[in-house]
Structure 1
Amino acid sequence: MRLIISCLLLAATLPAAAQIYKYTDANGNTVFTNQPPDGATSEKVELPPTNAIQIQPPSQPTDAGASADRQAIYQVVELTDLPDEVALRANNGTFSVGVRLEPSLQPGHRLRLRLDGQPYGQPTHVPRLQLMNVDRGDHSLTVDVLSGTNVVQSSAPVTFTVQRVNTSSPALRPPAPTPRPSN
């Protein structure tokens, strides 16, 4: 494709490199042509050399901020304070998790959780994030490092189980006191 375009451009410049003649026609008009006229006196026009530029290879648009964001700038991005083997007891479904980053959070970056693959909460610069009213059962949690709305880096997903005990369950009520006989 490049070869074809180069040949077409070269062919378009060939007439510009040809000799130019100038003469005055019978009506007094000045005429420029690439062939000397028959029966009229003409003069050769000396043109200055044409400008030439080197063909530059196409380059990808660069955005210094975006290219820095695409690189893994954090050696460690992980969630902390989630139980590995046992269920997380949170009767009202509210608990907090920590985020470990190495190096520390860069200026302009924010943290946001993804609960079960969906963004959760507002982006923040605080490495301690709270979850509220999470349903009982199995969940996956990931933390994303954001630059604006772009995800710079993400932690590995952590799977955990939330155990919510219903405190109004009859099984959890203390036994009713036995009445004492009256004397």
Structure 2
Amino acid sequence: MRSMLLWLWLLLIAFPAAADVFTYTDAQGNRVFTDQPHKGAQRVDIPPSNNMTATPPKSVAKKKPAAVKPSPLFHYQVLRILVPEPDATIRSMTGELIVSVNNDPALQERHTYRLLVDGKPFAEAGRSPVFPLTNIDRGTHQLSVEILDELGRIVERTASQEFHMLRISLAQKRQAQPCTVEDYGVRPECPIADKPPEKSSWLPFL
């Protein structure tokens, strides 16, 4: 009996659930199971299978890497414009000016200075605290300096500071300081072409 149950169990595994199973006793007295109809064979009732179809695993969404938080802003105790002084008057025929700044502590690594003239960046940010300016228009202007970190964030900024540019013309310079014979060809406002002819010390013969 145990052997017959084993054969039946193996047969259930071998044949699909929808196939018919027959059994009969062969000439040697052996119990035979088959899916083909046979003379004298009896149909075997097969109970429905209780196997469950495996549920495919749910796809697990990959977690996005956490965004790197920017470092907190570094603060300077002092940031000021040394040159020019507040409300300074600059006299320059070509509108030239030197701006320099000072800060404490020293400029940190990967930090840069940026000069603003009338609220607009005058040049690319850099590590030098000295800014040579040229061709500044005549009139009153506002200066300020910013320190930027490696992310371009403004770390510190000075208050706006006024200066006045006086661009003196050549005629005004000549009027303020008349040209002498030695000045022609030396001072820009005294070109050699404007040098008056020298008077001869010899009297013409009669």
Query: TM range, normalised to the smaller chain?
Result: 0.5 to 0.7
Distance 1:159 1:77 in 2: 16
Per-residue CA deviations over 1:127-156 (Å, capped at 9, x if unaligned) read 111111111111101101012332221111
Name the residue aligned to 1:87.
89
Tell whether 2:50 aligns with 1:29.
yes
Give 1:64 deviation, angstroms.
4.0
Deviations 1:12-71 (A, max 9, x none): xxxxxxxxxxxxxx632346xxxxxxxxxxxxxxxxxxxxxxxxxxxxx66243x2x2x5
Q: How many Å separate the matches in 1 of 2:139 and 2:147? A: 26
Of 97, 116, 119, which aligns to 2:118?
116
Root-mean-square deviation over aligned CA pairs: 3.2
1:1-183 → structure 2 map (5 Å cutoff):
27-30=48-51, 63-65=69-71, 67=72, 69=73, 71=74, 73-148=75-150, 149-169=152-172, 171-172=175-176, 174=178
Identity %: 28
Q: How many angstroms apart in 2 are the aligned matches of 1:103 and 1:122?
A: 22
In structure 1, the partner of 2:5 is none
Partner of 2:187: none
Give 1 or 2: higher strand fraction.
Answer: 1
**For residue 153 of structure 1, what is the amino acid of its counterpart?**
E
Whole-Å Cα distance in 2 between the matches of residues 174 and 98 of structure 1?
34
TM-score, scaled relative to structure 2: 0.51
Q: Which has the larger radius of gyration?
A: 2
Aligned AA for 2:154?
V
Q: Which gives a bigger RCO, structure 1 or 2 (Cα 8 Å, sep 6+)?
A: 1
The aligned amino acid for 1:96 is: I
2-structure distance, mates of 1:96, 1:86: 12
Could you list the runs of 5+ residues in structure 2 that have no partner in the other structure? 1-46, 53-66, 180-194
Aligned to 1:7: none
Residue 85 of structure 1 deviates from its aligned partner by: 4.2
Structure 1, unaligned stretches of length 5 or more? 1-25, 32-60
Figure out how many residues of one structure are paired with residues of the other and give that number. 126
